[in-house]
Structure 1
Amino acid sequence: MARKKRIWIPNAFYHVVCRGNRQDALFKDKGDFKIFLHMLHKVNEKTPFELASYCLMTNHFHLQLRSKDQSISKVMSLLNKRYADYYNTKNRITGHVFEKRYYDKIIDSKQGMLDVSRYIHLNPVEAKMTNKAEDYRWSSYRYYLYASGSPVVNTSFIMDYYSGSMWERRRKYRAFVEREGLSEWTSDMSDFF
């Protein structure tokens, strides 16, 4: 049976999730995380996309992205192929690195954009990998809180929803992310996890 063709809407943001095959670790050490982020940057140079937020967990990753010129499938194919080649070569194995095709869901509202970004940034806290989202090194959350820039992440997609100076926007976003409980978005993830 042929796989169902994915729907791609140019200029629409998507929440994308990929998980390791058999839920195995995709990132075994700091080098793996760094290589993946480097590959994300290189794929962006070749096939431009816009990234609002990300989080790399041990056995999966989240991206909040949109692509204007190439389908999300093209972007993810390039990224996952590069990382799978690296992973298999490094670990001297063959076969599938990712469990199945990536999960994706279109984000169709301002609240959805905020909720997905929040969900992504709180993932390490929910997984009890850290007590504070800002302490987790492998997510884009620090770019939202501090002035340091990223070669790939554009925080303005989220921060422009807030008013005031950049300091006030950061304060408001932190308050939004760190308030207790996750949004309705988590129930939609049950299809993936």
Structure 2
Amino acid sequence: MKKTYHLCWSGGDELLFRSKEDYIHGIVCLAIAAYKTDTTISAYCLMSNHVHLCVRADNLKGFIVSFRYPYSCYFNSRYKRKGRLGERQFFTLEIRGLHHLLTAIAYILRNPLHHGICATPFEYPYSSARAAFRKELGFELNEGAKKSVRHYSRMPDRNRLPHEIMMGSDGLILAEYIVDVTDLEHQFSTARSYMYYMNRLSGETWEKEQSNDGPDISPIRICDIENGVKGAAVQQLLANEYGRHNPNTIHDIELCCIIDKLLNDRFGGKTLYQLSVNQVQQAASFLKSRYHIGTEQIQRCLAMSRFPAL
């Protein structure tokens, strides 16, 4: 019998996704894992250093392995990296009850908002926020903007996906072909209800609502789920719910683009993981002085934790 879970995979002290191509490949691996293990995805959100998922599965371990292993192989091959990618264990919370489920999905889809990446959940391209109520909310793409995954020669493992899976012009699989939209819309009932959950503020009210599903249910709270994610200060995450987004902030994916150019210009096109300790220190000093990037973000994007002395 399938059960519903909220999963979080953390990259620990380094990133899981460094470029748009990484996100595209990650979403493909996610879709293939779901089809391979007959797992239903209710919501997903891929962030630079962690992934949030809400899934319904009867073979949870098989799904996790089928998602994580091929993506890790891709990442290690692309960046000349070795070893396990991300933390060994996924955060896993069984979801029980309607309020518990709606809160989990809302939390997952609002994660880019919490981390200050965008002003609304619908702006973020690497989540399923735009999958539900597409017609009512104006997110429906015209048919001319869609193409089968079979038409994309650069799409990894495209032959392992059903031919009816469609992608947009940006190369991303459309979220409505990954998540169970029918069930998602049934759970939220209306587009207005969905919008309400995407915009309401966290607080005790949500925790009390979840307790209505059962006295022994562990409520979904930011302080619990983001506890293992590096750079996640709870008070700042909550403050970001108000949507005071700074568009001038250099986020991880932009910083990684800067780093890639730096690697090409100054270090002979080496990948990040081929740099010596001294070269990493040089890169960190340049980024800090030129772009005024915070130490924690530089350490994360340069994967400096692999050098114990740094």
Q: For this structure pair, what is the TM-score category when the shorter chain's length is used for normalisation?
A: 0.7 to 0.9
2:106 aligns with: 118
Counterpart-to-counterpart distance in 2, 1:104 and 1:140: 20
1:102 to 86, 90, 106: 90
Tell me the secondary structure at the aligned position of residue 143 of structure 1: coil
Equivalent AA in structure 2 for residue 155 of structure 1: V
CA contact (8 A) 2:102 2:188 kept: no
Tell me the secondary structure at the aligned position of residue 161 of structure 1: helix
CA contact (8 A) 1:21 1:96 kept: no
Query: Where in structure 2 are the equivalents of 1:1-193 lying within 5 Å?
Result: 10-22=1-13, 24-68=14-58, 71-147=59-135, 148=140, 150-163=176-189, 169-181=190-202, 183-184=206-207, 185-186=220-221, 187-189=223-225, 192-193=228-229
Tell me the secondary structure at the aligned position of residue 142 of structure 1: coil
CA contact (8 A) 1:15 1:107 kept: yes
Between the aligned residues of both structures, percent identity stands at 23
RMSD of aligned Cα (Å)? 1.7
Change (3 A) 1:52 1:179: same
Change (3 A) 1:191 1:146: same
Question: How does the TM-score come out when normalised to structure 2?
Answer: 0.54
> Larger Cα Rg: Structure 1 or Structure 2?
2
Q: Give 1:99 shift.
A: 1.6
Q: How many aligned residue pairs are there? A: 176
Unaligned runs of 5+ in 1: 1-9, 164-168
Counterpart-to-counterpart distance in 2, 1:45 and 1:141: 20
Counterpart-to-counterpart distance in 2, 1:14 and 1:157: 15
Tell me the secondary structure at the aligned position of residue 124 of structure 1: helix
Greater percentage in helix:
2
CA contact (8 A) 2:41 2:56 kept: yes
Tell me the secondary structure at the aligned position of residue 16 of structure 2: coil
Equivalent AA in structure 1 for residue 182 of structure 2: S
Tell me the secondary structure at the aligned position of residue 141 of structure 1: coil
CA contact (8 A) 1:114 1:158 kept: no
Unaligned runs of 5+ in 2: 141-174, 208-219, 230-310
